[in-house]
Amino acid sequence: MRVPPYTRDPGWQRFFAGAMIGAIVSWIVFAQIFGILQEKQVRQLKTQQEIIAQLKHDLNIWQQDYVQLNEENKKRLMIQSIDVKVINAQSYGIDTYTTFRIEENIKKDIQHITAKDIETVYKSKELLKKAIENKTYVIDSRTYRLDIETILFFTNVSIEIKLKQQ
C-alpha cells in the first residue's frame, strides 16, 4: 500500500491546513460565545436568587405584621349578637312558642352585653350566669329554673340552657 498522492500536492495541503485552522478558530469562537452566554445565565440566576431572598424576607415581615394585627383585632372584638337555645324543652312537654318566649326573655335580660368587648364580657361570665340562673319561670302552674349547659364567647354569644323543674 502506498500513501495517496494528495498529501504531497500543495493545493490539498493548503485545503487540509485551512480546514484545521478553521476548525480551531470555530472552536475558539464557539467557546467564547458559550462562555459569554453562561456568564449571562449565572448573572441572571444570581439576580433572581437575590430577588427571591428579598421577597421571602418581605413575606416574613408581612406575615408577622398580619399575625400581630390579627391578635390586636381579636382583643378589640365586640359582641354582635346573642343566641339562646333551650335544650330540653321537649322532655317537659313545653311547646315551641313558650320555649321561644323563654329564649327571648333571656335575650332581653342580657342584651346589655351587645357591643361590648368579648374580653370584658368573658371576665364577667359568672355574673352573666347568675343573672340567667336566678330567674324562675312559671309555665302551666309549674315552676322552672334555668341551668346553663354551655356558653360560647365570640362575636356571637351562644348559650345553651336546660330547664329544671322545682
Q: What is the pLDDT of residues 37-81, one digit of tens each?
A: 999 999 999 999 999 999 999 999 999 999 988 888 776 788 889
Alpha carbon 47 to its chain's center: 30
Query: At 61, is the secondary structure helix, strand, or coil?
Result: helix
How many residues in total does the chain contain?
A: 166
Strand partners, 82: 157
Q: What is the pTM of this model?
A: 0.57
DSSP single-letter state for residue 154: S
The pLDDT of residue 119 is: 84
Cα–Cα distances in angstroms (integers) from residue 38 to residues 26, 47, 49, 81, 108, in the given order: 18, 14, 16, 65, 77
Supply the pLDDT for residue 62: 93
CA distance 84 to 160: 6
How much is the pLDDT for 123? 92
For residues 87 and 122, the answer to whether their CB atoms sit within 8 Å is no
CA dihedral 42, 47, 50, 54 (to 10 degrees): -160
Q: Which of 96, 103, 110, 75 is nearest to 162 (CA)?
A: 103
Residue 105, phi then psi, degrees to nearest 5: -60, -40
Query: What averages of pLDDT result for each successive group of 10 residues across the chain (166 residues)?
Result: 66 88 97 97 97 96 91 80 92 90 92 87 92 88 90 92 89
CA angle 161, 163, 166 (to 5 degrees): 145
The DSSP output letter for 151 is E
Locate 91 and state its grid cell. Answer: 322532655
